[in-house]
Amino acid sequence: MIEVQDVYFTYPNGVEALKGISLTVKKGEFVAIMGQNGAGKTTLVKHFNGLLKPSKGRVLVDGTETTKVSVATLARNVGFVFQNPDHQLFSETVEQEISFALKNFGFKENVIEKRVTWALNLLGLTQYEKTSPFMLSGGERKRVALASILAWDPTTLILDEPTIGQDHQQKEKLRQFILQMQTQEKTIIIVTHDVEFVAECNPRIMLMRDGKIVADGEGKEILTNPEVLSEASIVLPQIAEIFMQLSDTGLPRNVIDIYKAREILLKTLEKNPK
């Protein structure tokens, strides 16, 4: 569980990135933090594993205040996958890359081996075990970065812009993967611009703007509310847009799910076969 209590954060260069944020993310929740560039999304999630400490206010991770412990201690439970995999890959082989964190956390040699195999398998990277991570494609590097964090099985997973540079198929895999993690009661927090991806996943959404949270609620409500979205400079997902446009024909507005949309449209077509 992550509790943020009235947090303010100012960067050393004087930029005030967070202005009084309060929120709670419960265990097993799936949250998407959205907002335009510079809204403070990444700054906020960097507080969740102690990379940044609040200038004012408190952040508690599983009851521990982040200022009291090291990043390494927090990271054991809170895995953070950075946006750009090239900011972390450095090993000669994918296998070594994945075992790096495990060694840092002091896992035993035989456990490391098993976990690396497990993580490689989980993300379909087994054939690259002995390959240099620098030889892989962008999407594959992103998966290696993810695998290197999943390997230690953190209870909370933060993904910063996980869909950037990924093709549709990879996005779908990622979605399936998140759903699978959800069944294991993992807390998942994604930071993203990708409205369509969020609409498909349907998580709890927090909208940020200028270092503040401007909306917090279910995807179905927030992603179909053009006023709230425009405040955070986000456009409606396509399905919501269509239903918005059709709303004067009596169709419901709050639809973001493709299956739900199909159901409603079929029903309408049956009523008016012309």
Partner 1 sequence: MSVFDGLKFRKVYSPIHNLDPRIKFVYVCVIFVAAIIFGEILPLAALFMIQVPFVVLAGVKREWLRSLRGAVFLAAIIFLTNFIVSFITAGYTVIAGNVESAAALTLRFVVLVESFSVFFLTTSPDHLGLALEQTHVPYEFSFAFTTAVRFVPVLAEEAQTIMDAQKARGLELEKGNLLKRIRNYIPVLIPLIVSAIRRSLELAEAMESRAWGATKKRTNLYVLKMRRGDFVLMGITIGILAAAILTRLYVTIPTLTQLLEGVF
- The residue ranges that bind partner 1 (CB under 8 A) are 46, 49, 51, 70-72, 75-76, 79-80, 82, 84, 86-90, 100-101, 104-105, 134, 148-149, 152
d(CA 25, CA 66) in angstroms, rounded, equals: 15
Asked whether the beta carbons of 80 and 66 are under 8 A apart, the reply is no
Q: DSSP H helical segments within 10-137, as ranges? A: 41-45, 71-75, 94-104, 109-122
Nearest distance, CB of residue 265 and partner 1, angstroms: 44
Nearest distance, CB of residue 51 and partner 1, angstroms: 5
Q: Beta 30-34 vs 56-61: how paired, if at all?
A: unpaired
Sheet holding 2-10, edge to edge: 16-25, 2-10, 56-61, 64-65
Residue 211 structure tokens:
């270092």
Closest CB to partner 1 among residues 84, 182: 84
Nearest distance, CB of residue 245 and partner 1, angstroms: 40
Closest CB to partner 1 among residues 83, 233: 83
Closest CB to partner 1 among residues 149, 205: 149
Closest CB to partner 1 among residues 22, 104: 104
H-helix or E-strand spanning residue 21: strand 16-25
